[in-house]
Amino acid sequence: MWVSHLDRMRSMERALLRADFPLTYSKGFNPRPQMVFALPSSLGIRSESEYIDISLSEKGPAEHLFSRLEVQLPEGISLMGYRERDPENAKNLMGQVYEADYVFSNPGLSEKIEKLLVCPELIIEKMSKKRLKDEDIRPLILSSEVLDADRTRLRVLAGSRANLRPDTLLQALEKYLAYAEAQSVDVLREELWIKEREDGPLIRPMETND
C-alpha cells in the first residue's frame, strides 16, 4: 500500500524469481520479465483487485506455480486466484480496463461524498507532463452507492482512455468541502471492470474467456 507502482513491479518480479517461475523476458539491453499490471494503483490506497498478466515460457500445472508464489510474497500482498490464458488469443489486459469500483470510508464520510457529487464540476490541479493542469474529474465518476453512513462505493472510469485517480477525489473533498480529514479517508480498490471488445459487456477480469 505504501509503495509506488514501479516499486511494486520490482517486488513482484523478485517474488516471481524466488518462486522460480519460467518467465519470458523482454528483448534489449536490460531484459525484464514480461509481466503487466492491469491498472497501476496509486500510493496510499488498499486494493483487492490487482491483476497481473504474466507470460511464461512453458506450460505447466498452474496450481503448483500458484502455491509456490503464495509463500514468496512480501507482507501485505496475498494471492486471490489465478486463471490460465491462451497466449495466442490473450489480449493485453491493460488495454481492456474501462471502469473501477472504489470504496471510500471514514466516519460520516458518505454524506460528504453525496454533497460533493452534487457539484456540476470538480476542477482539480493535476500534474501532467511536468506541468500543472486543471482537470474536471466529475465526468469520470459514473455512479455512487452509499453502503452506510461511513462508506460509499464509487464506480469510476479507469484505464488508459480516462482514469480517475482516487487521490484526486480526496483533493476534491478538501477543495470543495474544506474536509479536513480527507487524507485520513481509507480507500479500497474493490474491483476492476474490463471489456473484451469495445462494444462488449463489462465483465470482471477473472471472467474473461479469451
Q: How far is the CB of 44 from another protein (least distance, A)?
A: 5
Q: Which residue in 111, 183, 201, 210 binds another protein (CB under 8 A)? A: 183
Beta strands in 11-150 (DSSP E): 35-37, 46-47, 52-54, 97-105, 123-128, 131-136, 141-146
Q: How far is the CB of 150 from another protein (least distance, A)?
A: 15
* Of residues 13 and 196, the one with the C-beta less far from another protein: 13
In this chain, which stretch among 25-33, 95-103, 144-152, 154-162 interacts with another protein, using CB under 8 A?
25-33
Residues 142 and 155 sit within 8 Å (Cβ to Cβ): yes
Q: How far is the CB of 174 from another protein (least distance, A)?
A: 11
Rounded CA-CA distance 157/131 in Å is 23
Q: Is 108 in the site for another protein (CB under 8 A)?
A: no
Amino acid, res. 141: I
Q: Which residue in 22, 31, 108, 139 binds another protein (CB under 8 A)? A: 31
Tell me how crowded residue 202 is: count the other CB atoms within 10 A of its CB: 13
Collapsing DSSP to helix, strand or coil, 57 comes out as coil
Rounded CA-CA distance 143/164 in Å is 13
* Of residues 2 and 118, the one with the C-beta less far from another protein: 2
Q: Is 14 in the site for another protein (CB under 8 A)?
A: yes
Q: Is 175 in the site for another protein (CB under 8 A)?
A: no
How many Cα atoms sit within 13 Å of 196 on the Cβ side?
A: 11
Q: Under the rule (CB under 8 A), what is the footprint of another protein?
A: 2-4, 6-8, 10-11, 13-18, 25, 29-31, 43-44, 72-76, 167, 181, 183-186
